[in-house]
Homo-oligomer: A and B are copies of this chain.
Amino acid sequence: MKRIIRVNTRTGEITEKAPTEQELRWGGRHFIAKTLLNEVPPTCEPLGRYNKLIISLGLFADTNLSTAGRLSIGGKSPLTGGVKECNVGGNAGKRLARIGVKAIILEDIPQEPKTRILFVSADEAKLIDAPHLKGKLVDETFEILRKEFGERSGLICIGPAGEMKLYAAGIALSDDRGEQVRYAARGGLGAVMGSKGIKAIVIDDSKQVEPDYYDPELLNTAVKEVFRILQEDPKSQNRRKYGTLDILEMANNLGLLPTRNFSSGQFEFAGNMTGPRVAELIKERGGCGKSGTPCVPGCTIMCSNVFPDKEGKKIVASLQYESVVLLGPNCGIGDIDDIAELNHLCNQVGVDTIECGAAIGVAMEAGVLKFGDAEGAKDIVRQIGEGTYLGRIIGNGAAFTGQAFGVRRVPVVKGQAMPAYDPRGLKGNGVLYATSTMGADHTAGNAFETVRTHNPLAREGQVQISRQLQIRAALIDSLGVCLFVRPAFIKKKELLSMLCKGRYGWDMSFEEIKRMGVDVLETERKFNELAGVSEKVKRMPEFMREEPLPPNNEVFDIPQEELESIWEIEMDPETF
């Protein structure tokens, strides 16, 4: 992966250069963090000239390592005002790797509004005016692009929400089969892409570039071993059967399931949307429904699904835990078909389901519509795409909606909505939301995996646990693999050294590799500090510290000073 492509969206100039030895060592999230700190003024306007949208491949994107085709997309976040990296599936990552691209950096903004496509192949990168795509929904856009550029194209695009620069806008990726829509959902990166006048990126890998593995045999051994461990791992097996919804029942039982704008941790209709129930429905309904499908080419976990309606026609693919909880229980909506349709609508207008579900929950609390009003919620999501006044309010996220309607109970940190774990019911995730460089974001170090080994309601130990999880997540996001690959590295951490040696010839101990995760966090923290959005000033919402959450009736009670001490904890060099 020898190509770093820079696109000046103002002048139209496109340049390419090979990574330096240093840049080569920065994959995915690591590359984004370094590029932001080195090139983007931390106080710049997120939708202005000086922000950059950075698309970056993981260190192993051009190998057969399971899930390594995932892509990191980042920039300064409009929502949080700090760094943002989203790790996303879809087919674009693999396509980019095959044509030797390490990163694409979109710079500046056009002087007049534009709707353009960035086309990238092994031989060229060019901007194409595409006024016919203006305002198109995500599926419409993908369909047009497949017609114009071929079925095999790697596709990235934004919906109308991104074009309108709404802060809840995400960036959509297609899979190989035109089946799933995957999202670099969080932090408003769709608005950053929109500000640069790029409606879509099309990757043509009909001509490919040969990867230059240092030791193909060693690499292959490690890749196969990861595959083997994941195949045997019971958690991975459950994910294939039940998808990410596998955890919903336990989350509800533990009382941490965000319900009716984070006013309860249990939902009376949770049974309608558990992993087993959804898998059962998919099986019963048949048609195009399926469980256990990959979101990225070559994934062995295959936690995605295609969720059909009663006639077997696809409603949405894939139905995931976070989206279901924020659009369902958090809005008091208990019918899985309603939830799936809401999810589909979000995917089409191009907004983050977490942010949108949280915003609708806040609007429901304000009385704009009633909790449980599924049709009202669908109407609102459609309105986002139409750019009505209400649509623009909700499309700008939960904090914005709270301000519009004078709601005090707004579940955000750093302006970004909390995902599907109430921090009062899973205090480790409270630590994460409050201290992560990403704002409230479970992917930065989800403590849910610790609930069996560590009391989620205990104050003690959570900061230490979160530190460990955050370092690991930062590392995994830099390798470019899915967080769900971690069981392989937990079981055999020497696999990481083998991968580095086999792919690049680097001799790196586990500790050295792990230290990359620390470097990511330190780089991101530095950027956030300069941007004025450190955890010292952007804190847990007050209601989370005051209002006990049923049924456990706990508040988030880890003191601010203890939260801030997280950065003083030394990395544990041994455990993954």
Binary per-residue interface labels of chain A (43-63) against chain B in the complex, 1 for a CB within 8 Å, 0 otherwise: 111011110000000000000
Bound together, the chains give a CA A538 to CA B530 distance in angstroms of: 11
B542 near A408: Cβ-Cβ < 8 Å: no
List residues of A (10-49) whose CB comes within 8 Å of B's CBs.
Answer: 43-45, 47-49
Bound together, the chains give a CA A546 to CA B109 distance in angstroms of: 13
Closest to A163 in B: B406
List of B residues within 8 angstroms of A47 by Cβ: 406, 408
Interface membership of A404, Cβ < 8 A: yes
Interface membership of A476, Cβ < 8 A: no
Interface size of A by CB at 8 A reads 39
Interface membership of A120, Cβ < 8 A: no
A542 near B44: Cβ-Cβ < 8 Å: yes
Bound together, the chains give a CA A232 to CA B390 distance in angstroms of: 56
Bound together, the chains give a CA A167 to CA B402 distance in angstroms of: 12
Interface locus among A303-311, A336-344, A392-400, A451-459:
A392-400
Bound together, the chains give a CA A389 to CA B393 distance in angstroms of: 8
Most B Cβ at <10 Å: residue of A396, A533, A538: A396
List of B residues within 8 angstroms of A191 by Cβ: 406
How far apart are A562's CB and chain B's nearest CB, in angstroms? 16
A166 near B406: Cβ-Cβ < 8 Å: yes
List residues of A (385-433) whose CB comes within 8 Å of B's CBs.
Answer: 388-390, 392-393, 396, 400, 403-406, 408
B403 near A167: Cβ-Cβ < 8 Å: yes
How far apart are A516's CB and chain B's nearest CB, in angstroms? 28
Closest to A164 in B: B406
Question: In the complex, which of the residues B44, B48, B536 contacts A532, with contact meaning CB atoms closer than 8 Å?
Answer: B536
Most B Cβ at <10 Å: residue of A166, A393, A541, A546: A393
List residues of A (484-536) whose CB comes within 8 Å of B's CBs.
Answer: 530-534, 536
Which secondary structure dominates where chain A touches chain B? Answer: loop
How far apart are A230's CB and chain B's nearest CB, in angstroms? 42
List residues of A (355-382) whose CB comes within 8 Å of B's CBs.
Answer: none
Bound together, the chains give a CA A194 to CA B403 distance in angstroms of: 13
Interface membership of A537, Cβ < 8 A: yes
List of B residues within 8 angstroms of A406 by Cβ: 47, 164-166, 191, 194
Question: In the complex, which of the residues B43, B392, B403 contacts A405, with contact meaning CB atoms closer than 8 Å?
Answer: B392
Question: In the complex, which of the residues B388, B400, B405, B537 contacts A531, with contact meaning CB atoms closer than 8 Å?
Answer: B537
Bound together, the chains give a CA A156 to CA B442 distance in angstroms of: 46
Closest to A44 in B: B542
A392 near B408: Cβ-Cβ < 8 Å: no
B393 near A392: Cβ-Cβ < 8 Å: yes
Given contacts A44-B542, A389-B389, A400-B404, 10 further A-B contacts (CB under 8 A): A45-B541, A45-B542, A49-B542, A49-B546, A50-B542, A166-B406, A389-B393, A392-B404, A531-B537, A532-B536
Interface pairs A-B: 4 shortest CB-CB: A532-B537, A165-B406, A389-B389, A392-B404
- Enumerate 26 A-B pairs (CB-CB under 8 Å) in ascending A order: A43-B537, A43-B538, A43-B539, A44-B542, A45-B408, A45-B541, A47-B406, A47-B408, A49-B546, A164-B406, A165-B406, A166-B406, A191-B406, A194-B406, A195-B408, A388-B389, A389-B390, A389-B393, A389-B404, A392-B404, A392-B405, A393-B393, A396-B404, A400-B404, A532-B533, A532-B536
